[in-house]
Chain A
Amino acid sequence: MSTGRRGGRELSYAQAIGEAIRQEMERDAGVFVYGLGVDDPKGMYGTTLDLHRVFGADRCFDTPLAEDAMTGFGVGAAIAGMRPIHVHQRMDFLMLCMNQLVNMAAKQSYMSNGAVHVPLVVRAIIGRSWGQGAQHSQAFHSYFMHVPGLKVLAPSTPHDAKGCMIAAIRDDNPVIVMEHRMLYGNRGIVPEAPYAARFGQARVLAEGDDVTIVAISHMVVEALRARPLLAEIGLSAEIVDPVSLAPLDVGTIAESVAKTGRLAVVDTSWAACGAGAEIVAAVHERLQGRRAFSALRLGYEPTPCPTTRPLEDVYYPSAKSIAAKVAALAGRAPGDWQARDIVAREIAEFRGPF
């Protein structure tokens, strides 16, 4: 992935997040990290490891299991001028935070006519693989994209993971940072000096002329794997990572679609009422009367996530299924060609228990 200078320092996605948080904690004494297990010996897959030792127990601490109140706690601390980072090991737990995030955090600035603001960061990790099942595998970004007053970031590369975390911490609004367990081991170039990603700035990860594939979070990895498969049948795919889901960089995506005439959105969630629906509609509105294009939404199969591996393999989009559906979008009759399987190493090699 060409997300940084050649020859620079490599970090994993998890290390990049950890570095961003540490640097921001050094920079600003108002930044603190809290949530279930953040100060335990595993330190949230290493991303918060030992922060309580370095910065003290006031700035990195465990909480009772009380997501509703603990979210409100963060909102209150943010109103009082601090920059809390609330961490959730699975995004599924955000359902217990919904009231505080949607009815309180998202509304404070507006209802106070700007007198109050809520610089709160909510980190949410999507689980996948090893039978995470129906309640430990969900991605709820579209729920939050729907709500004015909330921002949503979903980095896929180590470089963007660091930039997004810093941007989220520095922003004066509630920001949900959606991370993916299957991205944590990915390595890439990450500059050491702090830098912030730009809200509403998509990233073109690979250029192409025939189809635009917008992929979200872990699906970026699968879309990049699908690209050479499509090349085998002469289709050149442009891969766009929105990075920032709310606000969304409609311009970059629309520009790409204006060139290719085809848009496929591959989401890390279900397609119905999802980010893909929003992206297709927004691009359509932007290009209306200028450029007609064909469109496709891909996502999880419309069922809860099954536990057993053979059904999981059907449930999630893969490089192969993405390539096949994008080929069909481009008018390739099925039977013309069969996409190969490409092993998703991070999934095939993942071992539990969690």
Chain B
Amino acid sequence: MTHDPATIERLYCQLRRIRRVEEEIVRIYPTDKIKSPVHLSIGQEAVAVGVCDNLGPDDILYGTYRGHAIYLAKGGNLDRMMAELYGKQDGLAAGKAGSMHLGDVAAGMIGTSAIVGTTLPLSLGHAFALRRRGSAAIVCVFFGEGAMDEGVFHETANFAALKKLPILFVCENNRYAIYSHVKDRMPEVNLCERAEAYRIPARRIAGGDIFAIRAAAAEAVAAVRAGGGPRFLECETQRWRDHVGPGEDLHIGYRTAADLASWRAGDQNARLAGLLGAAARERIDAEVEAEIARAMDFAEKSPFPAAHTMYDHVYR
């Protein structure tokens, strides 16, 4: 199957941008400039990019503490994201959120949560309100497979289907909740069946192929937008780094080098780089590096918030 060059360029640009941003976070982390837990998506970028390529600026995104990739894929502002990670005044939440609670209403991304499963039911209410207002926008909610252990997933799925709400559920199945394998948490790993039990059409995209993710998401988004009620996507993926922090984690011993290697071999970043001509790739890479350099500089130069700002916005 061939893909048009513009699409390849667009997807590659986002994949590359997210990968390089998080590699920069890895590089900077030992300097202690980022004093907050970071949950990296290195290895998982194709899900965020493949899905968000189908969302418009008015569509709403909810997600988790593993939020850098979805935020950037949704068209997020890298300067303000980096400033937030640095705890600075020009950060998305002026230092009140940090990496775990990225949010930017302008980009349609509502603040992410560090309590697993907690944004799932918020998608219900948001979708309900959008529909009541006659909006064509939909809600897309990202979560890990760990969130599907929680009762609130089932309560959310049931209500979404009952009310035929315009929600796209995207489960990033990286098979681990911290160091706990999904097979040690579920008698059968039947994520799609769980959604289907509530009569939500579901699809599993294995292997991490970005074009397959994008195509499945396109179909699902169109169906949701057309008023067909919720859809569910299970996107198989793999995080390459530790659950939290910048480190590698094979030494911990909960997963095998072979497992990780197979996913590294299927890296969508490298794959799309190979599909592009050298000139296009070099141009995109240079643009990405320039954007990152600007963002780091922006974050460095932004001041820390003044003490009195801590009391702002407890209430509206």
A:41-65 near B, CB below 8 Å: 41-42, 62-65
Of B114, B178, B186, B310, the residue contacting A306 (CB under 8 A) is: B310
B75 to nearest A CB, angstroms? 23
Can you name 23 A-B residue pairings with CB atoms under 8 Å? A36-B177, A41-B179, A41-B254, A62-B180, A65-B147, A66-B150, A66-B151, A95-B115, A131-B36, A131-B37, A133-B96, A136-B37, A136-B114, A301-B310, A307-B36, A307-B96, A308-B96, A308-B98, A315-B310, A352-B37, A352-B245, A353-B29, A353-B37
Contacting pair B245 A353 (CB below 8 A) = yes
Point out the residues of chain A lying under 8 angstroms from B116, CB to CB.
65
Point out the residues of chain A lying under 8 angstroms from B108, CB to CB.
none
B interface list, Cβ under 8 A from A: 29, 32, 35-38, 87-88, 91, 95-101, 113-117, 146-147, 149-151, 177-180, 184-186, 242, 244-247, 252-254, 304-305, 307, 309-311, 314
Contacting pair A352 B179 (CB below 8 A) = no
B24 to nearest A CB, angstroms? 16
- The interface bits of chain A over 134-152 (1 if a CB of B lies within 8 angstroms of the residue's CB, else 0) are 1110000000000000000
Point out the residues of chain A lying under 8 angstroms from B96, CB to CB.
133-134, 304, 306-308, 311
* Residue from A41, A301, A307, A311 having most chain B Cβ neighbours under 10 A: A307
Closest to A134 in B: B101
Contacting pair B87 A307 (CB below 8 A) = yes
Point out the residues of chain B lying under 8 angstroms from A96, CB to CB.
115
Contacting pair A130 B185 (CB below 8 A) = no
Point out the residues of chain B lying under 8 angstroms from A307, CB to CB.
36, 87, 95-98, 100-101
Assembled-state Cα–Cα distance A311/B309 (Å): 8
Closest to A92 in B: B115
A209 to nearest B CB, angstroms? 35
Point out the residues of chain A lying under 8 angstroms from B254, CB to CB.
40-41
Across chains A and B, which 7 residue pairs bring their CB atoms closest together, nearest first? Answer: A131-B36, A353-B245, A308-B87, A308-B95, A307-B98, A64-B149, A65-B149
A130-B150 CB under 8 A given contacts A135-B114, A306-B96 = no
A182 to nearest B CB, angstroms? 15
A195 in contact (CB, < 8 A): no
Assembled-state Cα–Cα distance A135/B64 (Å): 12
Assembled-state Cα–Cα distance A93/B116 (Å): 9
Contacting pair A64 B307 (CB below 8 A) = no
Assembled-state Cα–Cα distance A212/B97 (Å): 37
Point out the residues of chain A lying under 8 angstroms from B311, CB to CB.
301, 303
Contacting pair A302 B314 (CB below 8 A) = yes
Assembled-state Cα–Cα distance A136/B101 (Å): 11
Point out the residues of chain B lying under 8 angstroms from A41, CB to CB.
179, 252-254
A42-B150 CB under 8 A given contacts A131-B98, A134-B101 = no
Chain A contact residue count (CB 8 A cutoff): 40
Point out the residues of chain B lying under 8 angstroms from A157, CB to CB.
none
B184 to nearest A CB, angstroms? 6
Point out the residues of chain B lying under 8 angstroms from A314, CB to CB.
307, 310
Of B98, B177, B247, B305, the residue contacting A133 (CB under 8 A) is: B98
Assembled-state Cα–Cα distance A304/B88 (Å): 17
A309 in contact (CB, < 8 A): yes
Point out the residues of chain A lying under 8 angstroms from B88, CB to CB.
308
Closest to B114 in A: A135
A351-B32 CB under 8 A given contacts A135-B115, A136-B114, A311-B305 = yes
Point out the residues of chain B lying under 8 angstroms from A302, CB to CB.
314
Contacting pair B180 A40 (CB below 8 A) = yes
Point out the residues of chain B lying under 8 angstroms from A36, CB to CB.
177-178, 180
List 11 additional A-B contacts (Cβ < 8 Å) besides A42-B252, A62-B185, A308-B304: A36-B178, A40-B178, A41-B252, A133-B96, A133-B101, A135-B101, A307-B95, A308-B88, A309-B35, A310-B307, A311-B309
Point out the residues of chain B lying under 8 angstroms from A351, CB to CB.
32
A69 in contact (CB, < 8 A): yes
Point out the residues of chain B lying under 8 angstroms from A130, CB to CB.
35-37
Contacting pair A131 B87 (CB below 8 A) = yes
Point out the residues of chain A lying under 8 angstroms from B101, CB to CB.
133-135, 307
Closest to B249 in A: A41
Point out the residues of chain B lying under 8 angstroms from A352, CB to CB.
29, 35-37, 245
A68 in contact (CB, < 8 A): yes
A80 to nearest B CB, angstroms? 22
Point out the residues of chain B lying under 8 angstroms from A304, CB to CB.
96, 314
Point out the residues of chain B lying under 8 angstroms from A308, CB to CB.
35, 87-88, 91, 95-96, 98, 304-305
Assembled-state Cα–Cα distance A308/B33 (Å): 10
A335 to nearest B CB, angstroms? 20
Assembled-state Cα–Cα distance A183/B70 (Å): 36
Point out the residues of chain B lying under 8 angstroms from A63, CB to CB.
185
Assembled-state Cα–Cα distance A310/B307 (Å): 7
